Amino acid sequence: MLQSKELIRDGAKVGDAQSANRPALELRNLVTRFPGDDGAFNIVDGVSLSVAPGETLAVVGESGSGKTMTFLSAIGLVPRPGKVVEGEILLDGTDLLKLSEEDMRALRGTRLSMVFQDPLTGLNPVFTIGDQIAGVLHAHRKLSRAEARQTAIGLLEKVHIPDPHRRIDDYPHQLSGGMRQRVLIAMAISLEPQVLIADEPTTALDVTVQAQVLELLAELREQSGMAIVLITHDLGLVARYADRVAVMYAGRVAETGDAEAIFERTAHPYTVSLFRSVPSLETDTASDLLEIEGQPPDPAALPAGCAFEPRCYLGHGRQDCQTTRPALRAVGDSSHRAACLHSSEVITEGTAE
């Protein structure tokens, strides 16, 4: 729909031969539950999604929709007293839920890495960035001090930090926000993970620096064939960088598919509302908050039917929407799926525009 013309594809997709069609990361019916005053409730409520080697999956949705919790679940870092209680987390075919805590710890950072929104919280202020990168290398790779330092300089070069021989001895506060985010990315990729999860990696940065960091991620992905999960509320970034998209609402996937399908044949009213809440890709800055009328539901008190029904321009007040919880089902091509009882109306409306 609206922004389809601006949908720019960055380069050819990597049709990697090594692991055929196996996703780098696949979540199957993942449920993460927290105890509450009125009984346990699900913050991640049956999420299925996958990302292939060399592909970027954007995960979008308003604040509180469960994006972060889904991927904290995937890397085994759900805050207590939450717990993954159902589903599978397949990393290149291995179910991570079956691993011991120790194996999971060894795997975090090495095969599956995550970078977060605020580059300061990820860095320790009392150590130089060189020591912090070398620390990761030393812990996992048993490199000597000199080797680790040399490798760290190489990594800083790779993430385009100017003058890395000098910068390596800087403390985090001596670097700009954008440079700190590059350091975190350098740490996250230092052990060549198969999957990099970037949780709002540029939200704290200004627009120019944002673009540079995302270009960097795209470049690293192309070099290494790693899969990237880009968690964002910025649809401009989605159009520019994502191959595929998963739209989340209330701990569930509302719509998923190729980026092109999501933009051009939008099939869920929530996705439509997200698009409408972005003034235009040019003027959008990542700090703009999405504003759809009403509030997302409390995960402890989800409605019986569709979680979006109370705010939905199409389904509000409809009895079937109030009583039936819509499952994700195919709309159009096989990988495009939406959890809406009336997705055909949404699609028709979109093409009529």
Ligand X SMILES: Nc1ncnc2c1ncn2[C@@H]1O[C@H](COP(=O)(O)OP(=O)(O)O)[C@@H](O)[C@H]1O
Tell me the two tokens of residue 164: 């890395």
Tell me the two tokens of residue 167: 């910068």
| Alpha carbon 158 to its chain's center | 22
Kindly state whether residue 68 participates in binding Mg ion, applying the rule CB under 5 A.
yes
Contact 92, 279 (CB under 8 A): no
Between 43 and 129, name the residue whose CB sits nearer to ligand X. Answer: 43
Question: Which of Mg ion, ligand X, none has residue 27 at its interface (CB below 5 to 8 Å by kind)?
Answer: none
Kindly state whether residue 63 participates in binding ligand X, applying the rule CB under 6 A.
yes
Between 68 and 210, name the residue whose CB sits nearer to Mg ion. Answer: 68
Kindly state whether residue 79 participates in binding ligand X, applying the rule CB under 6 A.
yes
CA pair distance 69, 71, nearest whole angstrom: 5
CB of 202 to ligand X, least distance (A): 15
Beta bridge partner(s), residue 316:
none
CB under 5 A: which stretch of 34-42, 67-75, 80-88, 275-283 binds Mg ion? Answer: 67-75
Looking only at residues 160 through 189 of this chain, which bind Mg ion when binding is defined by CB under 5 A? none
CA pair distance 237, 135, nearest whole angstrom: 32
Kindly state whether residue 70 participates in binding Mg ion, applying the rule CB under 5 A.
no
The only residue of 23, 34, 115, 229 in contact with ligand X, by rule CB under 6 A: 34
Please work out, in degrees rounded to the nearest 5, the angle formed at the alpha carbon of residue 3 by the alpha carbons of 338 and 253.
20
CB under 6 A: which stretch of 63-71, 120-128, 135-143, 332-340 binds ligand X? Answer: 63-71
Question: Which of Mg ion, ligand X, none has residue 61 at its interface (CB below 5 to 8 Å by kind)?
Answer: ligand X
Residue of 99, 190, 173 whose CA lies nearest to 139? 190
Kindly state whether residue 66 participates in binding ligand X, applying the rule CB under 6 A.
yes
CB of 229 to ligand X, least distance (A): 12
Q: How far apart are the first and last CA of the chain?
A: 8
